[in-house]
Structure 1
Amino acid sequence: MCLIYFSMFLLFSVITFLSSLSFMVTEYSLLLEYEVLSINSCSVMMTILLDWMSLLFMSFVLFISSMVIFYSEEYMEGDIYINRFIMLVGMFVLSMMLLIISPNLISILLGWDGLGLVSYALVIYYQNVKSYNAGMITALTNRIGDVALLMSIAWMMNYGGFNYVFYVDYFKGSLEMNLISGLVLLAAMTKSAQIPFSSWLPAAMAAPTPVSSLVHSSTLVTAGVYLLIRFNFSMSEGMMFFLLFVGTMTMFMAGLGANFEFDLKKIIALSTLSQLGLMMGILALGEYQLAFFHLLTHALFKALLFMCAGAMIHNLGNCQDIRYMGSVVNLMPLTCSYFVISNLSLCGIPFLAGFYSKDLILEVLSMGYMNLFIYFIYYVSTGLTVCYTFRLIYYVLVGDFNFLSLNMISDKGYIMLKGMSGLILFVIVGGSMLMWLMISTPYYICLPRLMKMMTLVVIIIGGWLGTELSKFALSYSLSSLNYLKTSFFLANMWYMPYISTFGVNYYPLMSGVKIYSLVDQGWSEFYGSQNIFFQLKRLSIFLQFLYSNNLKVFMLLLSMWVMYMYMYLLI
């Protein structure tokens, strides 16, 4: 089944990529409509929009999915339900396809809800307490966005149709469109895990690594960004400013958190969160094409990064703590090479895939008239990205090997290596290829030498800091209370899970326990069903006693009546 899905997705990926090039060159778009039903002049349409953007994104999603499914054949080896796993991944990808090609809010909701439902099934795949908790957080957080999308569908009734592509630009500024845009913004923030909905993203790491690779590169978390790219024309200035602030804060928070995290998958998850903040920020500045460009390049190197991490975890007997790793490069040279290349691409090192989008985003930001706070946070967050990347490389590749001396760590997973090898070429040349394709007219960047070199400066400082902090953390006594408090605060994303998840559901759950014990099993039982049961039972026993002794009772009543009559006569 793995090979069937792999071949099918790869074939469709090539077809959609070539179609995208054709549509891009000819500036051609195709809108297909099928009327499902019509109620009071409001038509419910099944609509498909094929343009260069949707086709290009589809080709990337299908290509990454094909590589992940091929990789899963070995990673999930020994799982007796592997066919079910592959089918779930297939459903996940199909939901994403439906979301990408829909210019209609109702058909978008089908893909949107499909992603939420299948992601829940995949997060709880290992069926333990941690997975169940993570799945519930993921599902319930995403439900907020689903409800917002449902409400926006209701407001679209004002226009007599649900095809938002006809209305986003024309009705910009109207009350209805402002409400719809606000609700879509809320939905996108939940799906793309922006503050304050960030806690589900690291928790979703409970899923198998191939799922993490797919979710964090091109499907679930990018759905929100893609929806906002489509809706960017309808956003008011206030919404854009709000989105810019939330995006930059998310990027900064995730960058700081990743520097104090020790779980390999969670570090990469926080890195995804940081990149999502970057995309949201540049989208809020009106550069939706740049956000889309970074979305595609990020999908390539993040998928490979997770696949490399999965191969390491697989070899280390499911150990995810980076403190146990070290000098893995001697045992797994090819996997570590891929790992370093994708990490450097994430940092924006020239001239890998991430450089072309990330450097351009920072330079366009520098060209604009944005305030110093935003400029400062963007560059600091870029430095933090390099910092946690070099910290990760130091712990995994350079430090002392702290795992079991009896091990079987090697690059012998040939199927996994082939899956990763399919992506490595695109991680190296994908950025330049996309730049030539997407940006027909080059961006004119005119900056002073110091501002032009700023990106390179923060990369160098971040790399140096990451290495030095790793050495410091290894040599420094971890018993220091202040260090522990700080690292705990930052690694827990400024206590975001406690505020937005545990803090929200603790009191309702506790009040539920109290109501259950005091009301359901308490006073309502005493005065309600149990009390009625006991009264009926007592009455039934009394009546049963009467019926079983009816002759005695009759004689007793007769004698009492005779005595009463006798007394009456005497009087």
Structure 2
Amino acid sequence: MFISWGFFLLVMSFLVMYFFLFVIFFNKIFIIEYILYCLLNMEMKMYFLVDWVSMLFLFVVLFVSSMVIIYSDSYMLGDNNKNYFCLMVLLFVLSMVMLIMCPNLIMIILGWDGLGLVSYLLVIYYQSKDSYNSGMITVMSNRVGDVAILLALVFLMNFGCYDMIMYNKMYLFCGVLVIIAGMTKSAQIPFSSWLPAAMAAPTPVSSLVHSSTLVTAGIYLLIRFNFLFKIGLFSEILFFFSSLTLFMAGVGANLEMDFKKIIAFSTLSQLGLIMMILSLGKVEFAFFHLLMHALFKSMLFLCAGLVIHNMSGVQDLRYLGNFFSYSPMICGCMGLASMSLFGFPFMGGFYSKDLILEYVYMSNENMIYLLLLIVSTGLTVMYCMRMMYYVVWKGIMMSLYYSVDLDKKMIFPIYMLSLTVILLGNLMSWLIFSYEELVVLSNFSKLLNLFLIVFMFLIFFILYINKIKGFSMGNIYIFLSSMWFMSFLTSYIFLFSYKKMSKYSEYDWMWMEEFGPSMLLNFMEKGSTMSQWFQNNYLNSVLLILISYVIIILIMI
């Protein structure tokens, strides 16, 4: 089942890529419209928008999904609910396809809610207490964005239509709602804590969720609503929160010891970077980095899943190490994805990330924002090297715990994604940017990214290779490693507060019982008693009815 569906999605991705080339070379846009029903002057329509943006993003989603499903056939080998898992992943992909293809807010909310519901089912797949808590945090955080979309739908009813492609200007309130929805799905501050919590799901699901589906849905929505960022207030607010998210995720990744959560923090930092450039109005840059991030992040998760699978489910970095001696090729692919993550020259992520950083340098932003961006970029290099150091080289004695299982079904998707990471960066830059983007910088600013990489390499070797201990941070460490206490606050708001509120639900159940089933039961008992009396006293009841009719007629006369 996994293999057949995986290759089906792979073939579909190539067909979509062929259609993308047709659309972009001939500069075509197709809109397929179907009217479901018409209520007064408001039409309920179903749209399918086919342009180069939707086709290219759909290609990446289908390609990554096919690789993840093929990978899952071996990863979920001993699971009794493999078919259920496969159907959930396919439903997840279907929701994302609906979100991509439909520019109508009614259709978008179907895909949007589908992503939230299926992600909850996948996060709680292992059915433990931690999984249930993580799933509840995930779904309740995303419900904030769902409510914002629903309020925007109600607001758009004033126009008599739900089509977001028909308007170039929107009211302020509706724009704020759309941005809140995008921030919740892309886990920007203050909605960041659900993204590391979603690591309770199986690793193939994490690869799909954190690369091209759930976390990218909010960014894709804001890309479609890019005219909102012509309003200066929206751009400044989003730039502020995305800068904080980028810095917070970089610091948290350097203090985390859970292998999958480090990659989750790296996803959060890249989402902050994409939101930052999107707030500056450079939609093409944001979309380009979104695509490249989907490819190398899914590859990094699949490599991590292979290591965890061979380590019998252990995710703590302190128990990993020396994997290079067992599989040099997989370690090489992991290093390739890591280098693409921090923008090593001529890797896939270099063509998008370096362009974004150079444009921000040129945009004359606030010096504090620039300092946050530079420090966060250096932290990206640091946590990538730290992760590779712990997994690939350190911990020779931990090799006793490895049970090597390098199945071809798990290796093939990693090799395919590594080819895309190497080749598609340059190719997509030629396809997406039909014009030359002029970036005017000094020599120092132009070489600043390369200096950062080299400098952070040196810092890493000083701190980790030479084992120089840092200062004890105490409570500051707890503050930084807990996402600035957001994980505690979110747990309190979404878990403990609901637990306390459930105590008061007994009163609600009493009123519902009194005015619901109990009242209906009493009414039916009295009705049956009256009916039984009429049946037993048939003649008397007929006389009573006639007398009542006569009395009514006399009163009316």
Same fold by TM-score greater than 0.5: yes
Please give the secondary structure, in 2, of the residue aligned with 1:217: coil
Deviation per residue, 1:232-290 (Å, 9 max, x gap):
11342101110011111101000000000000000000000000000000000000110
> Does the 8 Å CA contact 2:134/2:197 hold for their aligned counterparts?
yes
The answer for the alignment partner of 1:460 in structure 2 is 454
- Report the counterpart of residue 416 of structure 1 in structure 2: 410
Counterparts of residues 484-563 of structure 1 (less than 5 Å): 484-503=474-493, 505-510=495-500, 512-513=502-503, 515=504
Which residue does 1:209 correspond to in 2? 203
The amino acid of 1:68's aligned partner reads: V
Distance 2:441 2:278 in 1: 21
**CA distance in 2 between partners of 1:492 and 1:259 (Å):** 12
Task: Indicate the structure (1 or 2) with the bigger Cα radius of gyration.
Answer: 1
Residue in 2 that maps onto 1:147: 147
Aligned pairs (5 A) from 1:96-245:
96-167=96-167, 169=168, 171=169, 176-235=170-229, 236-245=231-240
Q: Summarize deviations over 1:451-495 as a string: whole Å, max 9, x none.
A: 1111111122223223433347x6649xx8x43433332121111
Q: Quote the residue 2:373 is aligned against.
A: 378
Q: Secondary structure at the match of 1:35?
A: strand
Match of 1:31 in 2: 31
The alpha carbon displacement at 1:40 in A equals 1.9
Q: Does the 8 Å CA contact 1:95/1:114 hold for their aligned counterparts?
A: yes
Determine if contact 1:96/1:111 at 8 Å carries over to the other structure.
Answer: yes
SS at match of 2:192: coil
Secondary structure at the counterpart of residue 35 of structure 2: strand
Structure 1 CA distance, aligned partners of 2:198 and 2:117? 13
Q: Distance in 2 between matches of 1:396 and 1:467?
A: 16
Letter in 1 for 2:74: E
What is the RMSD of the two structures over their aligned residues, measured on CA atoms? 2.1
Equivalent positions of 1:171-320 (< 5 A) are 171=169, 176-235=170-229, 236-320=231-315
8 Å Cα contact 2:362/2:440 also seen in 1: yes
Counting aligned pairs with the same residue, the percent is 45
> Residue 345 of structure 2 aligns with which residue?
350
Cα displacement (A) at 1:158: 1.8
How far apart in 1 are the matches of 2:39 and 2:379? Answer: 54
Partner Cα distance (2:319, 2:452) in 1 = 29
The residue matched to 2:400 in structure 1 has which SS? Answer: coil
1:346-380 deviation digits (Å, cap 9, x = unpaired): 01001000000000001111111211112111111
Range moving further from structure 2, 439-448 or 111-120: 439-448
| 1:492 aligned partner, one-letter code | S
Structure 1 residues 489 and 467, CA gap change in structure 2 (3 angstroms) = farther
**Contact conserved, 1:328 with 1:336, CA < 8 A, in 2?**
yes
CA distance in 1 between partners of 2:270 and 2:311 (Å): 28
User: Structure 1 residues 507, 357: closer, same or farther in 2, change over 3 A?
Assistant: same
Residue 533 of structure 1 corresponds to which residue in structure 2?
none
Instruction: Judge which range, 497-506 or 129-138, deviates more.
Output: 497-506
Distance 1:310 1:511 in 2: 39
Instruction: Please state whether the residue corresponding to 1:96 is helix, strand or coil.
Output: helix
Deviation at 1:400, TM superposition (A): 2.4
The answer as to 2:59 corresponding to 1:59 is: yes
Deviation at 1:505, TM superposition (A): 4.5
Q: Is the 8 A contact 1:387 1:464 kept in 2?
A: no
2:338–2:384 Cα contact (<8 Å) kept: yes
Contact in 1 for aligned 2:321/2:399 (Cα 8 Å): no
In terms of mean alpha carbon deviation, does 307-316 or 379-388 score higher? 379-388
Q: Deviation of residue 442 (structure 1)?
A: 1.7
1:333 paired with 2:328, answer yes
Amino acid in structure 1 at the alignment position of 2:30: L
Q: CA 1:22 to 1:401, structure 2 compared with 1: closer, same or farther past 3 Å?
A: same
Preserved CA contact (<8 Å) 1:103 1:163: yes
Q: Aligned-pair distance for 1:520?
A: 9.0
Contact 1:177 1:234 in 2 (8 A): no
Q: 1:520 to 1:191 in 2, by over 3 A?
A: closer
Distance 1:152 1:134 in 2: 28
Contact kept, 8 Å, 2:312 with 2:403, in 1: the verdict is: no
Post-superposition offset of 1:291: 0.2
Q: Name the SS of the counterpart of 2:225 in structure 1.
A: helix
* Counterpart-to-counterpart distance in 2, 1:120 and 1:90: 14
The C-alpha deviation readout for 1:296-345, integer Å capped at 9, x for no partner, is 00001000000000000000010000111122111121111110010000
Where in structure 1 are there 5+ consecutive unaligned residues? Answer: 529-571
Gaps of 5+ in 2: 515-557
Give distance in 1, aligned partners of 2:483 and 2:311: 27
Q: TM-score, normalization: structure 2?
A: 0.89
Whether contact under 8 Å (1:257, 1:491) holds in the other structure is yes
Could you list the per-position Cα deviations for residues 213-232 of structure 1 after superposition, in whole angstroms to 9, with x for gaps in the alignment?
00000000000000000001
TM-score, normalised with respect to structure 1: 0.86
**Structure 1 Cα separation of the partners of residues 122 and 508 of structure 2:** 35
State the alpha-carbon separation in 2 of the partners of residues 198 and 326 from structure 1.
29
Query: For the structure 1 residues 407 and 390, does the alpha-carbon distance in structure 2 shift closer, same or farther, using more than 3 Å as the test?
Result: closer
Can you list the C-alpha shifts for 1:424-469, whole angstroms capped at 9, x where unaligned?
Answer: 1111121101001111112112211111111111122223223433
Q: Which amino acid aligns with 1:304?
A: M
1:70-98 CA distance string (max 9 Å, x none): 00010000112111111110110010000
Q: Secondary structure at the match of 1:320?
A: coil
**CA contact under 8 A between 1:391 and 1:467: conserved in structure 2?**
no
Matched, 1:369 2:369: no
Name the SS of the counterpart of 1:143 in structure 2: helix
Partners of 1:82 and 1:208 in 2: CA distance = 12
CA distance change for structure 1 residues 404 and 455 in 2, over 3 Å: closer, same or farther? closer
Which letter maps to 2:28?
Y
Counterparts in 2 of 1:203 and 1:161: CA distance versus 1, 3 Å: same
| Distance apart, 1:507 and its partner CA | 4.3
Give yes or no for contact 2:266–2:380 (8 Å, CA) kept in 1: yes
